[in-house]
Structure 1
């Protein structure tokens, strides 16, 4: 019997995205990964944009993601701790997935201790220096009144609009990795530890940028940017002593 002592980090799966050529194969690959880590997985952190779009209505469930949700439920039922961070694509998760699957939903920065080491995690869209327009849009998406008004629109209009917006963002370069994509997150990590010398973070973990970064900062802390599952199929694993970036083949 395997000993469950590993913590896994994954982000930016964008399940259901209209620009993914074979959505069913994409979902199956994610499920294969979840089944692969099941024997030694103690914790699983989903760091946002797991779904390309999700709107949770009070009494109905959007179609799709059956195999993925089932794989998460199997992990949760076996005792794996699952934390799902809201990203900028899957903001509107409320109580359905926590109740049905048994996971925890988190919005914003989380500072926590894992195996005696301090971790700071966030999707990556809510830290550092953000453009004014993006901050306003981010606030609007989290506004309760705006959410209620949006929920009143029939899904035949909202779902198509959301997927069109996502596809347009990708065509405009919103998903194109670059060498500078993680600069804002690196600068945030450096500033955070300088401002919190008595509570220094050992590991910063982010998603959002769709690029891979595994770097040691001047103060000895590490910053990990998790890449994506559109083309990289990357993730990180913490074994209690070391953290490693890997790809799922």
Structure 2
């Protein structure tokens, strides 16, 4: 993708709409929709890197109630010819065609490489990558197992969604009970993952979410790891002007 003059590419992640309750997340959703409305003016593309919802499961004829402002704004953006790309996160793994069919948004279930204005990007949500976190990796295999999804689908949505939301809100990063801090380059799994990828192929930027912490980390002279933070505590996003990618907080530069 080559950027037209004056256009930019935007990145955002980890909104967790619906958490801890629909009422409490509504102001955050309105703020995010306002951001979408502003960036569409000069956006060549928008990348959403997962966990837009705190829980999302697509039954054959039902999707979770709510989020009409966000879904409507995304439909408006794609209807106006601005491409939006979505990478599933660990809270919205169960996407199965709704975004593609209703919103014209391609959905990716694994990290993917993009060439943007001559720069090589490696983009994904970030969950389950790198060493460690073996417990989650085992759970993810269960969550994505076709048999497990089939059984869950047979739960009435009122029961299934309520159960999933209850378990999801127990996540301390969502409830605000955990102070997310930078662990140091030797303990940040995504930094280790990016460095291993660089052993076999050059990337200018690694862009992930999942950590709920804005990070701009120089891997070497030519490669940078960006973590987008979240729209719960930081309201941060990435903006690529064709030459450099940097983080901004909605309303001011960080």
TM over 0.5: yes
Uncovered stretches (5+) of structure 1, i.e. residues with no partner: none
Aligned to 1:9: 11
Alignment partners' CA distance in 1, 2:147 and 2:6? 43
Distance across 1 between alignment mates of 2:177 and 2:204: 29
TM-score, normalisation: structure 2: 0.91
Give the 3-state SS of the residue equivalent to 1:145 in structure 2: helix
C-alpha deviation, 1:176, in angstroms: 3.7
Q: 1:203 aligns with which of 182, 202, 205?
A: 205
Aligned to 1:33: 35
Conservation of the 8 A alpha-carbon contact between 1:110 and 1:120: yes
Conservation of the 8 A alpha-carbon contact between 2:13 and 2:209: yes
1:61 aligns with 2:63: yes
Equivalent positions of 1:155-170 (< 5 A) are 155-170=157-172
Question: Aligned partners of 1:246 and 1:95: how far apart in 2?
Answer: 31
Given that 1:203 and 1:222 are in contact with CA atoms closer than 8 Å, whether structure 2 keeps it comes out as yes
| Alignment TM-score, normalising by the size of structure 1 | 0.92
Matched length: 245
The answer to whether the Cα contact below 8 Å between 1:115 and 1:240 also exists between their aligned partners in 2 is yes
Q: Aligned-pair RMSD on alpha carbons?
A: 2.0
Post-superposition shift, 1:175? 5.7
Cα distance in 2 for partners of 1:130, 1:71 equals 38
Q: Which residue of 1 aligns with 2:196?
A: 191
**Rounded Cα–Cα distance in structure 1 between residues aligned with 2:40 and 2:182:** 33
Gaps of 5+ in 2: none
Aligned-residue offset at 1:8: 0.5
SS in 2 for 1:39: coil
CA contact (8 A) 1:11 1:46 kept: yes
Asked if the contact 1:175–1:209 (Cα under 8 Å) also holds between the matched residues in 2, the reply is no
Q: Retained in 1: the 8 A contact 2:12–2:47?
A: yes
Describe the shift of the 1:190–1:163 C-alpha distance in structure 2 as closer, same or farther (beyond 3 A). Answer: same
Q: 1:158 to 1:176 in 2, by over 3 A?
A: farther
Deviation at 1:21, TM superposition (A): 6.1
Q: Return closer, same or farther for 1:202/1:174 CA change in 2, 3 Å cut-off.
A: farther
Deviation at 1:178, TM superposition (A): 1.1
Q: Once the two structures are superposed, what CA deviation does each residue of 1:73-113 show, in whole Å capped at 9, x if it has no partner?
A: 11101111111101000111111121111101001110111
Match of 1:111, SS state, is: strand
Q: Which residue of 2 aligns with 1:226?
A: 228
* Distance in 1 separating the partners of 2:195 and 2:177: 25
> What is the alpha-carbon distance in structure 2 between the residues aligned to residue 234 and residue 175 of structure 1?
19
Contact 1:213–1:224 (Cα < 8 Å) also in 2 = yes
Match of 2:97 in 1: 95
